[in-house]
Amino acid sequence: MRDNDQVSHWNAPVADTPVHAVVPVPGSKSLTNRALVLAALADSPARVSGTLRSRDTDLMIGALRALGTRIEGPAGPLGPDDTDLLVTPGPLHGADIECGLAGTVMRFVPPLAALATGTSTFDGDAAARVRPQATVLDALRSLGADVTGDRLPFSVSGTGSLRGGRVEMDASASSQFVSGLLLSAARFDDGVDLVHVGASAVPSGPHIEMTLAMLRDAGVVVEQPTASSWRVAPGPISAVDRVVEPDLSNATPFLAAAAVTGGSVRVPRWPVSTTQPGDAIRGILEEMGASVTLETADGADHGTLVVVGPDHLSPLVADLSAIGELTPTIAALCALADGPSTLTGIAHLRGHETDRLAALAAELCAVGCEVTERADGLEIVPGPLHGAPWRAYADHRMATAGAIIGLGVPGIEVDDIDSTAKTMPGFTSMWTAMLAGGTT
């Protein structure tokens, strides 16, 4: 578990001139952790290349290895910086699983533990113990699993198989509840017929589309009879050698730097077509006045994304229900815009690493904005901004939001910049290199 006393205060650097930089971005956390789960359940070994190595992905690697999966680097034993991994499935057995603050570990691994022989115990950071978890645990119970507890810490006792079948759940709080069941469902005796019964739609739809696409790549028969139901047929999961795309959500603070400073940032290997919700930042930045271009060669499946910032950022009115994870970046941009902005569709952010709506409202008010916290979003009125401590709440995206504000406001001190290691180790060195005008 993470010791919340071991934190690193960081004075966010001000951009005295427009930023001009090339910023290569490591692999996607969402794609990495889904690929690792599918590889652990596959019918033969598979290679996963270009993976992100961060706290969240290392926790997933640790969980899968504890359950019986062999994961190696290019030279054999796994090194801390290896990004090209060989995953060899093995018989699953009970284990102690450390979740940290990783929602994907909390929600994706319990179904694997239900397929294991023996008891698996799950625990994590103090902040993880208040994150919503009962939805997926109750669903596993209804599918035949033996589960004790409703939040971290909890345990799952397996006999080597799981009945599966029809299950109803309210996944209004997180799309990870849906993805977590779907990823393992082909290994259930009867597959799964999953129906969302919540009054609100499942948020972050692109993440479910990502899961469905990766399942189909692995030969799994997946149907979506309605917008709120999914059916996975029982059967093998084929081993697939995958190359992980760059993490587009992790790219957004750097692209925001171009928009905030009136500079330009280039991100190579940006995919032409993707299921990653971070791709939506292109439209958001254009709405706020930036120029956004994807430079590609004819027939290429990726190119270089180029963002050139405007003289002034325009305010934004947007429903972010499909792209909630981008909210801290977007809120920081709105705080530096030249008029009031309204962000809606993000009530589910209250159950993320922290209550992100309350956290953003508190920190933006502390630096001089007027912020109204609505039931499903934020109204942000920029004001004369000033330096102040910026609390990260052990939340990587809150920390990077503080870095964005600091580009234009002297005296922003982020209290826990090390929280960025959750998905982006080396963030501060990348940020410093970007401000110096080179390739990070």
Q: Note the Cα 264 to chain centre separation in Å.
A: 25
Nearest CA to 67 out of 53, 88, 48 is that of 88
Q: List the alpha helices (DSSP H) in 143-267.
A: 176-185, 205-217, 248-261
Query: 10 Å Cβ neighbour count for 291?
Result: 14
262: left (phi over 0), alpha (psi -120 to 50) or beta: left
Beta bridge partners of residue 13, listed in sequence order: none
Nearest CA to 122 out of 133, 110, 131 is that of 110
- Exposure b/e, 140-170, CB count within 10 A at least 16 = b: bbebbbebeeeebebbbbbeeebebeebebb
Phi, psi angle pair for 188, to nearest 5° = -75, 150
With contact defined as beta carbons under 8 Å apart, do 202 and 171 qualify? yes
CA atoms within 13 A on the CB side of 400: 28
Residue 203 in tokens: 């948020």
> How distant, in Å, are the alpha carbons of 106, 112, 166, 211, 321 from that of 169?
17, 19, 10, 18, 19
CA 251, 422, 113, 69 dihedral sign is positive
Rounded CA separation 192/231 (Å) = 6
Residue 225 in tokens: 């009879």
Active site residue 325: yes
Residue 106 in tokens: 């909390």
With contact defined as beta carbons under 8 Å apart, do 288 and 314 qualify? yes
Residue 160 in tokens: 């080597």
Residue 427 in tokens: 């963030």
Q: Of residues 325, 363, 373, 379, which has the active-site annotation? A: 325
Nearest CA to 211 out of 152, 156, 164, 277 is that of 277
Nearest CA to 84 out of 67, 68, 66, 72 is that of 72
Q: Which active-site residues does the annotation give?
A: 325
